[in-house]
Every structure is written in C-alpha cells, then in structure tokens.
Chains A and B, each alone.
Chain A
Amino acid sequence: MQQALLKHQWQQAAGYMHSYLQVLEDWDVIKRQAAPEIIWKLGSEILFYHPKSSVETFNTFADRMKNIGVMNYLKISLQHALYLLHHGMLEDASRNLHQAETWRYGDKSSSQEVLINLVQAYKGLLQYYTWSKKKMELSQLDEEDYAYNTASQSMLNHSWKTSINLCALIQIPGVWDPFVKSYVEMLDFYGDRDGAREVLTNYAYDDKFPSNPNAHVYLYNFLKKEKAPREKLISVLKILYQIVPSHKLMFEFYRLLRKSEKEEDQKLGLEVLFGVLDFAGCTRNITAWKYLAKHLRQTLAGNRLAWIQELWDSRKNWWPNFHFSFFWAKSDWKEEKTLACEKALVAGILLGKGCRYFRYISKQDHQVLKKKMKRMKKSVKKFSIVKP
C-alpha cells in the first residue's frame, strides 16, 4: 500500500486499503491496536489525493475512524478540522472542534490534556477569524448606526470566548505563533495592553519555550507600536541579536543604536553590521555595506581605531577571501556597480590600497560614478587602517 502511495497510484492504494481493513479484527492485539492509526494515516492520504474522493467521503471516513480507535479521537478530529479548513469550510471545522472539545474518555492523561488545549486553540483561532471579519465589517460601518452597536456587542462576546480558548494553550511550551499573534491582537483591541505585553514577554523570555525569534519580533513590534522608550526597544533587539544576528530587524536595531548617544551603543552598532555581513545570505546586502562604509569612516574620523581592530582581528583571515576576492570584484562590478563601490571603500579601509578588490574597482572607468570613485579613493587614502 505504501509503495502504491509513493508511486501515486491512488486507485491501487484504495484497493489495498480495502483489504487491509481486515487487520481490525486481527488476533494479534498489538497489531490490532496499531491498525487504526495506520488506517487513518494512509486512508486519509489516499482520500486526500484520490482523484474521485470528495469532501463528503472524507467526512464520513473521518467520522467512522474517530470511533474506532478511541485513543485517536482527538487527533483525528483535529486533522479533520484542518482538512475542512483547508477546503474553506470554516463553520464545519468549528463545529467539529467543538465536538472534540467536549469529548472525554477515561482518565485525563497529560497528552489528552494537551490535545484538548490544542483543539481549543484551533477553535479559538477560527473564532478569531470570524472576529476579525466582523472587525472589518465594523470599520466600514458608521459609528452612529444602530447596527454598529449590535455588531460590536457580538464582537465582544466572541473575543471573550476566544481569549479563553487561546490562553490555555499558550502557557504550554511550544511554537504557537498564529495563536499568540491573534490573541495579542484581540487583547490589544480591547485595551488590555498590560495583558498583551505580559503574554508576549512570557512567550519570548520563558526558558521552557524554544528560542523562537518570532517571539522577540512580536514583542518588539508591540513595544514599537506602544512607543516604548528607546532603551527598552534596544534591549529587546539585543536579545534578538544574540539569537539571530542576521535578522532583518538588525538594520532597525542599528539605526536605533546610531541614534543613541552612548559610546558603547555606537560600538555595538558596528558590531551588528559586521555580524550581519558575516552571513552568506547577506553578502550582497547593499544597505549593510553602505552603513558599514559610513560608520567606518566616522569611527575612524573619531579616532576609534581600536574598535575596528578588535572586530577586524577575528575576521581578517577569512573576510578577504569571503568578500573581497577577485571573483567577487568582477561579478559585483558586472551586476551592481553601487554595491561594488561601497564594498571597495570598505575593502580599501580595512585592507589598504593594495587589496585586489579595491584595485580592480578603482581601475574601472565609469562616467556616472566618477565622482563617487574619486571620493572613495580619497577616503581610503585618508582612513585606511593599513598603513602603507
């Protein structure tokens, strides 16, 4: 059956499945217990891809399967709901989840609890969709209107239910981005800023959670919207910088640091830029090179050679080959002249006039960039940390 599935022969697989169902009454207990899960796994896959299956067939199958393996009820319900969601049947999915939520069997084990929480969270998410839809409608309505009041009333009801559904799950360690996002949005809408902040802080800083960069991003965006003081923002981004030094928010972090008057922040700014450019995915990021060139010039003008030396020491044995090789000089010049100029300036400052990248670029003749080139050569002459 698996082979048929892997060869995309859905009809054949359906045939095999038909005969596999016998396993359900197998004498072997272990086999019999494992069977519902296999049947569900493979059966749902067949039905998902089978050219002739429909949503109705899937629904019947899922309903039957739920009652066969008692232990699998919640899992199947959840996936069934997702399937419905996928087919755009939000209400059916919601009903399904509601059923699952009220289902109980035997002792409540911890895994069941987690699953129920998850079911509730998904339900909450669905409610959130309806809520945000209503919000959209509301924004189109006139405030004086009678309809506005009723609509906002129902929205309130909704959100209260939803938040209850969502908040249980996000206490459990995990990656709950969509849930947290919607939960915070709702809390924020009703003015519970402290609650929202608490949720986000918890999500970002709790040790039990995996170090999810998004958690910090959400917190930062929230604080930014709140117009929190710069120090606060910097401290949030500092942690993000520790986790993901290549994140796109690093540029914002850098700008924040530049605005700060503190010297150490300036130094950190330089470090951030070097850090971003360390990554292979960022080597052709012109913003980073531009910032770096400017910052280097200013730092050197401010007689802070030691900062650069310190950062450069760990990089000087591989940056030349990584960034400033002859190959890159050629291809950068060919594809993006401005990038090449910025890089050449940095190369000239860090490696001196003799460096291949700088030599190659400065030898090129270009009408439009002539002025820029001249300026570049001058500043290299003036600032280069390598004394000839």
Chain B
Amino acid sequence: MCGQLFLPRCTSAGQARGRGSFPRVAQSGPNHVSTRHPGVLGSRTVAQLVQRMDFPDSLNPTLFMTGPLGLSDVPDLSFMCSWRDALILPEAQPQKSENRVPPDLSKSLHWEPQTPGPFPLLPPGPDPWDPGVTAQDLLFRGDYKYRRQPRVVLDVTEQLSRFLWDHGDIAFAPLGKLMLDNFKLEGAPSQSKKKTVVSVKKLLQDLGGHQPWGCPWAYLSHRQRRFSILGSPVLGRSVTTLLGDTLQEELALRWERLLLDDAFTGGALAWVPGRIAHVGQLVYPIGGALDTLCFQEVTLSPAGDPQVHGTPGHIQLRGPVRQVVTRTVQGESLLAVRSDYHCALWKVSKQGQPSPLQVLKVEKGATGISLSPHLPGELAVCSSSGAVCLWTPQDGLRQVYKDPETLVFRDPSPWRWADFTCHPRVLTVGDRTGVKIIDTQGPPGCGLLLFRDGAEASCQKGERVLLTQYLGESNPESLHPTLHLICTQFSVYLMDERLPLVPMLKWNHDLPSAPLLAQFLPAPQPGFPRPLLLGGQGGQLQLLHITGDSTSVLRLAGPPQSLPSRSDSLSAFPLLDPKSHRRLQERLEAPTIGLSVAIPPSTSTPALSVFQLSAAGDIFQQCLRLQADPRPVDEPKPDSCVPTTSWSPHVTAHCSRWLNTLLEVVDTPPVWTAPTFSHRHLLDYKPQQGVEETVTQSLRTAMARGQLLRQKDLGLLSTTELPPTPESGPEDELSERLEAAWAGRLAAWWQKQQGQDSQPRRQPKRNKRRTQLSCTFSSLSGHLDFSDATSPPHSPDHTPLKTRPQLPLTPTSQEVSQELCIRGVPTERQQTLRDYMAKLPLQEDTPGDSSMPPSQTSSLWSSPSRKQTLRNYTAKLPLQRDTPGGTPMLPSQTCSIRSTRSRQQTPILSGSQPHHKKARMGF
C-alpha cells in the first residue's frame, strides 16, 4: 500500500505547487517535441486533427472466443505469418483493388545498423561487476533421468551442504549453544554407557579441525559415527527443517528472479530532450548498487552518432534505481524514478538542470511508475499490494484502485502496472493475467477489461503479461492516441482502448528472453511506418514496423527485423587472454535494464540512435539508418547475406580503450575463509605440532583453493605449500598450461595432469560421457589435440548451461530418425519438398553441391578423406531415394556417416538458436 508522503522538497513550495510553476517554461519557446519533427506535425489542418480520433471503417476479420487461455480447439485464424498482415483486404470497390500499389516499400523496409553491433558510449564505472548466480549454480547437476523432457530441478541438497560447509557457525552454533548446558564436555572415562554416551572431547579430537565429507580422504571414526546416529534425530532434523525450508524458499525466489527479473520492467534509461533538437541528456543509474542517478549530456550528429559532453551530473539516492521515466508535457520535462520502496519526481529545466519536486515512500514495494502524457506532473504509481495511486505534486497522493487479487485468474506474481490512456482520468491497470481500464472518477471496483489473458486474444498456455504501455504521446497531434502495447513472453499485442479484448495486431516475437522494454517511435518520414522497438532482457532487440493511421487498420509493414545485440560486438574488441575474454563476454552479456532511442535532427536519411543500459552499468549505443532506396522487387540485393557493415578504426580504438579501463578494475572474488573451530579454547586440547599441523594447514589451503589435497602434496608439504591466490580457480588451468608451455615444461605438466586425473576415484560418470561426446566432436572437427580429447577435470562446472542438456539429447533422436529413413520409410513427401526447395535460388557462390546449405558447407571437416566420404555419400543419396524399396547400400555404414553429420550439425544450430531449451519464463 502506498504509504505516507515524506517530502524533502528542495524547491520552494510555490515553484512546485500549483500553476505557479508553469510560466517559466512557457516563456522559453515552443514544445520541443514539435520542433523535433516539424515535417510530421508542422502544418496540420483542423480536419486532419479531428481525424486522429477516428475509428477504422472496417476492421480485420477476427474470431472472438471467450474462455481460458490455451484452448486447443480454437483455430488461430489470423496472425500466423508476418506477411499476412501485409495483405489488405481489397476495398469494396474492385477497381480500387486492381490498381492498388504493391507494397514495395514494405519489402525493402530495413533499418541498416551502422556498426555490426552496439559499442560502449561511456567508460566503464569503477565498481567491479559480479554477474551473480547463474542458472547453473542453482540447478541439479546430476544425471538427467528424464531425457526427453529435461526438467528443472533446483539442487537444494548441494546448496544446503555448501551452506553448512561455508557457514557452519551460523548453521550449528545456535544449536550448539542451546545444547551447551546439557553437554558434558569432559566425559568421565569410568562410565560404561558405551552405547549411549559419546565423549565430546574425544569426538572433537577426532574431528581435529577437518571436515568430514566432500573430501575423499575423510575419515570417520566410530565415535563420530555413533555420535551422528545418536544425535541425528535432534541435530539433523532441526537443522535441515529450519534451514531447508528457508533455503528452499530463497532458492525458489532466486530461481524466479533468474528466469524473470521484473524489477527493471520499463527500463532504467531515459532520454530527456534538451532545448536544441540534437542535444539531450541520458539519465541512468550507475554504481555497483545502481543507486546514483546520472545526467549525461549528449549531442547527436545528423548521422545519429552521439557525442558525450563533459562529466555527468550525479544524484545519490538511497536505493537502487529500477525505472526511469521521462515525458515532456506542455513544454515541461519531467523525470520520474522508481526505486524498490521509493519514487521520486524531478523537473528538468530547459538548461538541463533537474530540480526535485517530491519523493514518495511505498511501503509494500513499488512495481511500476508512469508519467501522465496529459497533465504535467501527474504520476501513476502501483505497488505490489495491488494498489494504484494517482499522484500530483499539488494534490498529493490519491488511491484510485486496490485489488490484491489478479484480474483474470489467480497468479502468484505481485507485479502490477499502471499507465494512462487517452482520457486523462482513465487509467489502465495491469497484472500478469490481464489489463483493465478504470475510471478514476467512477465508483471503485468498476472497470472494463482491455486485455484478457485468454482465448479472446488466442493466448497460449502459460502466457503472461510482462509489460503494458500506453503508446499515445504527450502532444495532441499524437498519431495513435488510443493504442496500448501489451507484451507477453510469446507475443506483442496492440490494443485499441475503444475496442477492448480484441487485439488490433498480434505478432509472435519469439524473443528468447522476456521483453520488458519497448519504445514506440514516431514515423521517420510522413507516410512511413512507425518503428516499434522491443528489447528483451537478454539483450535482444526487435524492430517492428507498424503502419496504419487512425482511419485504416493497423498492420505490420514488412517483416520485423532483429537488431544486433551487445554480444555481437565482441569482434570490435582486441583479442584477449581467455580469462579477460570471459570477463568481457560476461560484461557484454549482462542483462539489459534500459532502452532508449534518440532521434537526430531530420536529414535526408532518417536515423535512430539506440541506447542500451546493461545491468553492469554500461551504456551501449548503436546507430541505425533507414535504407532509403526502395528497390524494385525483382532486383535482388547483391549483398543481402554478407554483413555490410564493419567496425571503423575509430570505434575499435574506442572499444580497446574501454576494455583497458575495464580490465584495470581488479576483479577480486570474495575471499573465502575456512570455518574455524573454536573448540580449542573450550578443551584443554593441545594439537600436536609437526606433521599433523601441516596436514591441517595444507587441508585448509586446499579447501581455500577449492582443490583436492593429494597424497603427493601431503608428502611434500614443507616445500610445495603456496599461499592461496585470488586468481587460483579451476578455470585457470588453461593459463597454467600455457605458462607451462612457455617455460617448455608442457610434457611435465601433462604428466602431472594425468597423475591428477588418475587420482580421484569419484569422478562423475557424466564427465565420462561428455568426454566421449566431445571426443566425437573434436575428432570430427579435425584438430585432434590430445589435450582436448580428455576434458580437464574441472571443466564440467563451467560448460555453459545452454549446451548441456542438448548434447545428450539431439544426436540420439536424429540418429535414430536417420536410421529409420534409410531402412525404407517412404520419403516422397520430404523428397518433393526438398526438390522444390532446391529450385529456390540459393547463394550463387556455393560451389558444386548445391544440395547442401551454406552453413554445412562452411563447417565441413578439414580432413580430406572424410570430406570425400561425404561427397560420395551425398552423390549416392538421390540414387537411393529413387529406389525406395530396396536398400542397395550398406545401411550401417551410411547410417554412421549420416549420424556423425547430424551430430556435427547440432552444435552449430544450437549455438545460433537454442531450440530445445528455450528460456521461457517458467510459468
């Protein structure tokens, strides 16, 4: 529930309150939104203005079904393909339909990125960034029993054991303290209750400061065993139940946040236009905790390249910034910021100086904030308790809606959202299951569903609303004043508030991560479709072209376009050693938490400047230019397959500078300290000096380093002991190896490695299997390096998650299918299609075997003999297909070849598109 106000007003009350604050703004010139797009807004007649609220004469035919989501029987009539929307039903007059202009424009509509990927705009911040837990850390790493449908299993046991291991004092100390009074530490030796009494002194002596399990050399004494049997009903249960419950809860929470972190819904990056059209300010949070709000002045060149001026202004806040919203209403730029439990409003003067208006405390946690496009300074704030409040600096807070339940059906998520509509007193209220229109002046509780997560919009099973946005603008000339955007994890919907429940447009975006960011941009030139930019949390960007004015139906003009993501710009950076490379990659793959677009002053070719804010606090920018020449359809684009852009030396130099600054920041991992056992001062236990102590010490070091303690090491204790270095970790094996190679000691290193490998007996089975698999791959890819053949002992933990479940999965199924096909399952269907597709003009420069797609050709093995076999095989294939009845070839041989081929293909495909394990939000 939105709580009380506490108002550290920094401006005088007169300035912030009431109408007294407006004259200053009004004197300083016209609304700069209109100066930015003079072509669009300049000379509209009244008649045209009136038409903005028109309703299309006739809508696209849509079936209207009511019911829950995921009804399988409902045919999804429309919305199957993107081109479907390009088809307009001809007008009633047939002659019109005959000389309708074919939409040439839609086929050539393309925003060309100026660089192959976005690149950093500002130097990295001084705070090191930690990517936090990954899915890999939380998931059960055991064998997959259900291979067909790998299920997500949170590994509570491992987490629990780690917790007990790392924080034994927290886990056991309270219990120990409780039991201390009843514990007789000095057991009298004369007592003979051998079965039931355990001498603690002896027990602790046995423990001797080392941990019982996780270490292959753990030694359990009889006493310990007895103690654990005796104590388990008390100790085991209390610890596990108490801890396990909270841990499970925490894990589930973490996991949910990992799947969908909705804190940054709406985005924490905003572009505040300045007095001059091409100067503006980027507003974004920085710092490790994202609690410093930054105002950076940026100038846009006509081509869209931004230039940073001076050092940014800072405002230190008391919580992490989650959302930054900006609007220019009646010539007044306002900036609203949402933190977890606070919201704040600033006014940005024409000179770019922010002056705070008010701060609001939200006790239950704010989930969304939006600024009114109609009335200056009005805000809608919603909290996770289900309350929506309207807030103006003049009148304060007013609760307009409250419903702790979700709208359509029950959903556990406390996420709520509110936005404005075309009517200044009507709001939309959204949660995961739907969006409702409410009249803030009407009686509470009434309203109209704008979007229902159900059969009305033919939603899929598990589909949930992730973002809703009012697409109208703050000037009355706005083109689509009644449109609302609704994003789910599968689709985007455009809804007209005058026709609730029926989407005007639906597009299945297929983004691999949750689209929590969206920007609807003005048309680059009059008559052009308006770009709608969607940003996934994982950094993917998609650009839709929306066309249709108020008198015609909305539709997609041209196929949607995906823009390069941050991970595409890895090539702009210089080559690095693996460790730094990994760090850079991690940094580039940090989730996107903000998206903003600035439009440079209009030139002949319209341009967009896209800014992205990553969770690491970096701002990346990319410039897009509209491909201006609508080429005729017959003329193919000569270079449509080859990326046309490349990195300019200026950008690469900038990137390497950025990288240097990034690497200067020392990435110190949290220092792990071995748990200390404080029994010594309790007992008169004097540890023996000498060998035993060194053993304990070396054990501790080994534990600190996360390595095994080998017998060999124990023998050479006095000589080989090294202080634990922060870098030491399993992933460092490669650099170790390289170091050895440099020093010419590779053979010795290898010997040592092998010795190491043969030592641990408890190497997991899974490891072996992967070794086999990777063996297959490496043998196929030709460079059979003997170090690759046996995977390093620690590598399994660092395999990227996405490839893991796929490897054992896909090849097997494909293998079998290939087998079936060769055993004579009729293939006419596939054959006809394949022949037919073969007719399609492929790339001209593919030599010889046109039956193979370019990807396959490019990834062919370098080993000539294998290549030859495949050639032979492919040459034979048609023969075999012509005689489907008999099997003239050796089935086993062909099978093996084909299966290896498919195996080799799998990682390529899965690398580009993780098909099997989509990161759907686990609803």
Contacts and interface: CB of A to CB of B under 8 A. Distances in A.
Given A173-B64, A246-B53, A280-B423, A83 B87 contact: yes
A280 B510 contact: no
A12 B844 CA distance: 11
Contacts of A157: none
Contacts of B332: 327
A284 B49 contact: yes
Contact of B22 (A7, A19, A247, A327): A327
A287 B47 CA distance: 10
Q: Most B CB atoms within 10 A — which of A176, A280, A322?
A: A280
Contacts of A26: 813-814, 817
A19 B30 contact: no
Contact of B834 (A18, A210, A248, A336): A18
Contacts of A209: 64
Interface string B75-91: 10100111110111110
Contact of A7 (B89, B373, B562): B562
B62 interface: yes
A51 B836 contact: no
Contacts of A309: none
Interface string A275-296: 0001111111111000000000
A5 B912 CA distance: 13
Q: Most A CB atoms within 10 A — which of B73, B821, B836?
A: B836
Contact of A210 (B502, B837, B839): B502
A242 B27 CA distance: 40
Contacts of B830: 21-22, 24-25
Interface stretch (A95-103, A177-185, A187-195, A366-374): A177-185
Main secondary structure of the interface of A (DSSP, over half): helix
A356 interface: yes
Interface string B83-117: 11011111011110110101000010010000000
B422 A279 contact: yes
A61 B61 contact: no
A314 B439 CA distance: 12
A132 B94 contact: yes
A60 B422 CA distance: 47
B476 A3 contact: no
A114 B63 CA distance: 9
A110 interface: yes
Contacts of B82: 45
Nearest to B820: A27
A104 interface: no
Contacts of A314: 441
Contact of A177 (B61, B376, B501, B839): B61
Interface stretch (A211-219, A254-262, A378-386): A211-219
A351 to B, nearest CB: 11
A6 interface: yes
A236 interface: no
Given A278-B425, A331-B31, A51 B834 contact: no
Interface in B602-651: 633-637, 640-641
B80 A41 contact: yes
Interface stretch (B408-416, B521-529, B850-858): B850-858
A201 B290 CA distance: 58
Contacts of B31: 327, 331
B143 interface: no
Q: Most B CB atoms within 10 A — which of A27, A28, A247?
A: A27
A244 to B, nearest CB: 5
B472 interface: yes
B829 A68 contact: yes
A2 to B, nearest CB: 6
Interface in B303-340: 330-332
Interface in A220-273: 243-244, 246-248
Contact of A182 (B92, B422, B836, B842): B92
Contacts of B834: 18, 21
Contact of B75 (A111, A133, A214): A111
B829 to A, nearest CB: 6
Interface string B551-581: 0000000011110000000000000000000
A328 interface: yes
B802 interface: no
Contacts of B23: 326
A16 interface: yes
Contact of B499 (A19, A185, A213): A213
B63 to A, nearest CB: 5
Given A85-B90, A282-B476, 13 more contacts: A8-B561, A19-B855, A21-B834, A25-B827, A45-B81, A175-B499, A176-B61, A182-B92, A279-B423, A280-B373, A280-B422, A321-B376, A327-B31
Interface of B: 19, 22-23, 25-26, 30-31, 46, 49-66, 73-75, 77, 80-84, 86-90, 92-95, 97-98, 100, 102, 107, 110, 330-332, 373-376, 395, 422-425, 441, 456, 472, 476, 478, 481-482, 498-502, 510, 542, 559-562, 633-637, 640-641, 813-814, 816-817, 820-821, 825, 827, 829-830, 832-834, 836-843, 851-856, 912-913
12 contacts: A14-B837, A48-B86, A129-B94, A175-B60, A177-B59, A179-B61, A279-B53, A279-B423, A281-B481, A282-B476, A320-B19, A321-B376
A-B pairs, top 6 by smallest CB distance, nearest first, are: A6-B562, A177-B58, A281-B481, A27-B817, A51-B636, A15-B853
